[in-house]
Structure 1
């Protein structure tokens, strides 16, 4: 192996999945240095980002403890269909947490007890940084990379709070006004000691399952029938035109990223089908998922059958996760089942995730595993 040119070694190693690189670092000192080099880290990350999506899955073990798993796609040797392989990951320094989002292999985590602390964590390099505390419980959160400053930023949007008359144990009561529709925006550059207040917006933001980061802009659903983007470079909000699906019969469900494009998911009451609209130069409806293919049986043993027409997927229990290179759409049902839907054959199959005996209830976030070190952008 010493006779191989370094360029060829770099090319070979950059194609390995990240768990395999951990073993490769033990081969020799030269490989360990190469794998830790920033040029190699960036090259490997770009290759992994071009592959099919991988996932971080958060599993609740106990009331005050969680586990993280890495989910990667493979083909079932029996039938050739996609399946997801899960691998348990090292834990962050907080036991009870909420998985907020992922960016460039880094996870944004929010501790749910006792302090609601925020943390950035790389589950493959095991390094982390705790963020400065907010003066209030965090609202909607977003996490992304500002390409102009080469820094990561966390955005927090909360309902504007007003002071009501009244005292409790000598202290004035402060609460969110039920009539208020304003939101307050705070931004933190990771590595900075303080949050910055960017002021207020004249509307509130709907709760989002996960951040939607596209081309350096975070996206949220604001009030009803409105999409707002936040440019991480300019730190300015801008309204995004809505797709035509949001009309009299269309019910806006969620935003998602499909192969790098902002996408909107809605349910058409008249056609009784899910519609997936993708933003290119304009909004284009690219996928339709009829109710007839989302019939599902949920027996007492927790296994899934697709043969019984008496059971239907509740609309709000379905989430679109990603689009594979094969054209299959990955859907999640009730935080318990992940399935692959073929829009051409209009067929669907269960990916049958297993978690070493842990109950099948989880949150899934699209994640590209990386060797990025937090110190690389905090200390520059």
Structure 2
């Protein structure tokens, strides 16, 4: 009997080319690849390889987007497939933030970029990959503690492809003062160091001393600010590669209170949008980036079917529906014509933290792309049949 089994196993063993194995695995979702690390040592080595992770992320077909949603004081985090119905509990998964200090604490999202979410907790910053659980605490700024009167009012998190580096950007101003920002700090994850940009002095403020989180689009961070010297609102832009600021004017006919409008990136062909969030919610699209004349009113959303009478878009689905927050702890989904289709509360709290992230295997910083090490894998019939099965979240 033992002899028969050995003979059968030898007969069914397949030798697949290294390149074919890689191409198959590159097309699988992140959750499946994490499970497949247990198949054999060769697959563990391959899937853990930084070059493989980068190649997988650059495969558009596997770049699945999800929402991370939680209360600032909660240990439990929910990852939500926003392409599914909001009441489909199978489309969400519970994560945790057990790497952060124990309660009591207050966690805030300060940005999302290439699958990483930037968290602030107890005056410390953490980079976190919700797909794999990988996390890293970032070094504290040596600049800000020198002057306790400085307050952060603009916060951003992005990626500079020219240096393959993740960057944290903080714009600071004096507390209890209406003077313009006088300090800009940048943290380089690759260098693990903070650096101050000299000579920055512009006339932007943020109302109510709250912290605005920058919207990452087209290699730059964008914030809605108050241009106090001209008595108007504007969009300030920070180019991550050039390390320079510029400005985009808002639509001429867009008249909303500063505290009730926001920025978002939407559409199958991503475009930057400005939205007024209250009754009714208006969505304006900039059809040509940085062309002020291209602002167009795209959608008007009636918020009568949302209990809070508030709708701030976060993302658009594959079917071009729009998902947004209700200003409390709920999510709403409307059609591209502005008709509200679903609304769901996720907790009894009054506040929530939400961000869109792209699933990936990346640990922190991948090295520059190079060829995979040449080796071959032996894959038997069981593994070959495993690869043919559909992999769902």
- Per the alignment, residue 247 of structure 2 pairs with 239
Shift of 1:23: 0.8
Unpaired runs of 5+ residues, structure 1, are 162-175, 299-311
User: Match of 1:225, SS?
Assistant: strand
TM-score (norm 2): 0.73
Q: Match of 2:162?
A: 148
Q: Is the radius of gyration larger for structure 1 or structure 2?
A: 2
**Residue 98 of structure 2 corresponds to residue 88 of structure 1:** no
Q: Give, in whole Å, the separation in 2 of the partners of 1:228 and 1:377.
A: 32
Could you give the per-residue CA deviations for residues 105-151 of structure 1, whole angstroms, max 9, x where no partner exists? Answer: 1221112x3xx122222231423132223425643211111111111
Q: Cα distance 1:179–1:18, how it changes in 2: closer, same or farther (>3 A)?
A: same
Q: Distance in 1 between matches of 2:20 and 2:114?
A: 25
Other-structure match for 1:43:
55
Cα distance between partner residues in 2 of 1:154 and 1:26: 35
Per the alignment, in what secondary structure is the counterpart of residue 374 of structure 1? coil
Higher helix share: 2
| 1:244-277 CA-partner distances (Å, limit 9, x unpaired) | 343xx455611112243222113699xx551232
Larger RCO (CA within 8 A; separation ≥ 6): 2
The alignment's TM-score, normalised by the length of structure 1, stands at 0.75
When structure 1 is superposed on structure 2, of 142-151 and 197-206 the one drifting more is: 197-206
**CA 1:5–1:59 in 2, change beyond 3 Å: closer, same or farther?**
farther
Instruction: Confirm whether residue 68 of structure 1 aligns to residue 73 of structure 2.
Output: no
Matched positions, count = 329
Q: Where do residues 1-380 of structure 1 align in structure 2 (5 Å cutoff)? A: 2-47=14-59, 53-61=65-73, 66-75=75-84, 85-91=91-97, 93-95=99-101, 96=105, 97-111=107-121, 113=122, 116-123=123-130, 124-133=132-141, 134-135=144-145, 136=148, 138-159=152-173, 161=174, 176-199=175-198, 200-206=200-206, 207=210, 210-223=213-226, 224-246=232-254, 249-251=255-257, 253-259=261-267, 260-266=270-276, 272-281=280-289, 282=291, 283-285=294-296, 287-291=298-302, 294-296=303-305, 298=307, 313=309, 317-344=310-337, 346-350=339-343, 352=344, 362-374=352-364, 376=366
Q: Distance in 1 between matches of 2:166 and 2:338?
A: 41
Deviation at 1:296, TM superposition (A): 3.2
SS at match of 1:89: strand
- Return closer, same or farther for 1:185/1:74 CA change in 2, 3 Å cut-off: closer
Q: Which residue matches 1:171?
A: none
1:38 and 1:67 map into 2 onto residues whose CA distance is 29
RMSD: 3.2
Q: Which structure shows the bigger proportion of residues in strand conformation?
A: 1
